[in-house]
Chain A
Amino acid sequence: MMLHTIPMKTEEKTTASQEQLEEAFRIADEVREEVSRLSREERANLESAAHAVIRGARSARATCRAGH
């Protein structure tokens, strides 16, 4: 197991209403049950996609910093 961390501190929040967050929580509960029914391969694919999103954001931020 290898831990990954990227030292960037630009913390950006998402504007939300109470209703929107409650809806997100409800869907998150559904997804928790869905994920437990997925095959190992499907879960691995999801995880790889999540890592790609994180890497993409890191790359975009690095490009943005270099541009300034």
Chain B
Amino acid sequence: MPERRAALDTKVLLGIQAPVPVSSCVEAHSLLRHDQFLFAAPPTVLQELERLEKRTEAEFTSALAQNVLENLPALDVVFAKFDDTETDVTEIHATRVIEKGVLSEKYRADLSALIEAAYMDCLLFITTRQQLLDKRGDLMLALIQVCGMSHLYIFSPEEIVGYYRHLLIPPTAQEPQRRGSF
């Protein structure tokens, strides 16, 4: 099976590192890992984790961000350093998507993370950011049409868990059998 990669957004990584009962982040990560996915942290996510680590006034958050960074390899997360050209292209693409009105300037960092994930050949972008989830149809088309990038599917951790749970439930006689994978 070819290598498949899922990009993890900042809050998803924090949720994986600090499991609490109501969070689906750990379960989504485990299910995707079991389905042979590797994971990626886009440069914007690494920058945010480092910025969080420097927030020493928020002691827990700072320690959590540091733990995430130190634990990335153990979570099967790869990361990339973009060169100047790749950073330029990411910025140009983000500007074009903003000009198209898909998202406003306020969400430039969200767009950067998304475009970087597409650059890193990720198939999935797992995020809890509601504005990305709400606009995912337009964003996925913008990545293809405006940026000329390959497709990238945007899901929340809950949706990933829901999808795999559905696969594990035996189909009833009334329900058509659905088996498959991303």
Contact = CB atoms under 8 A, between A and B. Distances in A.
Interface of A: 1-18, 20-21, 23-25, 27-29, 31-36, 38, 40, 43, 46-47, 49-51, 53-54, 56-58
A47 B47 contact: yes
Given A1-B82, A46-B47, A50-B50, A25 B14 contact: yes
Nearest to B113: A32
Contacts, number: 147
Contacts of A38: 47
B96 to A, nearest CB: 16
B166 to A, nearest CB: 26
Nearest to B63: A14
Q: Is the interface of B mostly helix, strand, loop or mixed?
A: helix
A29 B58 CA distance: 14
Given A23-B58, A35-B44, A50-B46, A14 B64 contact: yes
A27 B119 CA distance: 27
Contact of A3 (B64, B110, B120): B120
Contacts of B11: 25, 28-29
Interface in B76-99: 76-83, 86-87
Interface residues of B, number: 58
A46 B87 CA distance: 14
Interface string B48-80: 111111010010110111110111111111111
Given A46-B50, A54-B70, A16 B109 contact: no
A27 B58 contact: yes
Return the 6 tightest CB-CB contacts between A and B, nearest first.
A57-B70, A16-B18, A36-B109, A6-B73, A50-B50, A11-B74
Contacts of B50: 46-47, 49-50, 53
